[in-house]
């Protein structure tokens, strides 16, 4: 499929409900910190063929652009590592906590999840399902109601809304 089309379908959309507004506000709060990773985000996006706004959105959702990440790079339970929270039992973390190598690994995991979604779904939903799977695992994304098993029941919708904000602000 044409990833350019998918990119646009995911990050376009009407500004709408209060949840979207909350997501946009959180993305904006993280924008100054996100600048620290912007070059790496763009390099990875170009190399992997993925929307930089989606990478930024996941960094925002997972660690508030590093703001809530302990200095060790590991989350509280020691389960996930780095600004994109790579789960260690599934993938041995690569690189430093906010390195381009880390972002490359995490983006690769996301792409694998997108590619594992049901091929009968429209491309935008495969993309969104891959975002949900990044949070809850591909086995938990069984229908087009992809957020039913994600953290807070809103992971994919929140990431897409944050990506819309980043798309309109230079990503």
Supply the residues annotated as catalytic.
62
Q: Are 47 and 39 in contact (CB under 8 A)?
A: no
Spatial CB neighbours of 125, under 8 Å, sequence gap ≥ 6: 117, 144, 146
Tokens 């995490």 label which residue? 106
Tokens 């979207």 label which residue? 20
> Taking the CA of residue 20 as centre, how many other CA atoms within 13 Å lie in the half-sphere pointing to its CB?
13
């Amino acid at each position: 499929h044409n990833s350019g089309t998918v990119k646009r379908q995911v990050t376009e959309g009407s500004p709408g409900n209060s949840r979207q507004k909350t997501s946009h506000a959180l993305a904006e709060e993280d924008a100054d910190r996100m600048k620290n990773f912007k070059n790496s985000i763009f390099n990875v996006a170009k190399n992997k063929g993925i929307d930089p706004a989606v990478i930024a959105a996941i960094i925002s959702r997972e660690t508030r652009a590093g703001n809530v990440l302990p200095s060790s790079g590991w989350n509280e339970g020691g389960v996930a590592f780095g600004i994109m929270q790579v789960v260690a039992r599934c993938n041995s973390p690569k690189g430093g906590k906010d390195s381009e190598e880390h972002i490359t690994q995490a983006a690769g995991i996301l792409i694998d999840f997108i590619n594992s979604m049901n091929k009968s779904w429209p491309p935008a939903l495969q993309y969104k399902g891959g975002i949900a799977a990044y949070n809850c695992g591909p086995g938990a994304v069984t229908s087009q109601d992809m957020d039913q098993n994600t953290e807070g029941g809103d992971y994919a919708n929140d990431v897409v809304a944050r990506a819309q904000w980043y798309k309109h602000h230079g990503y």
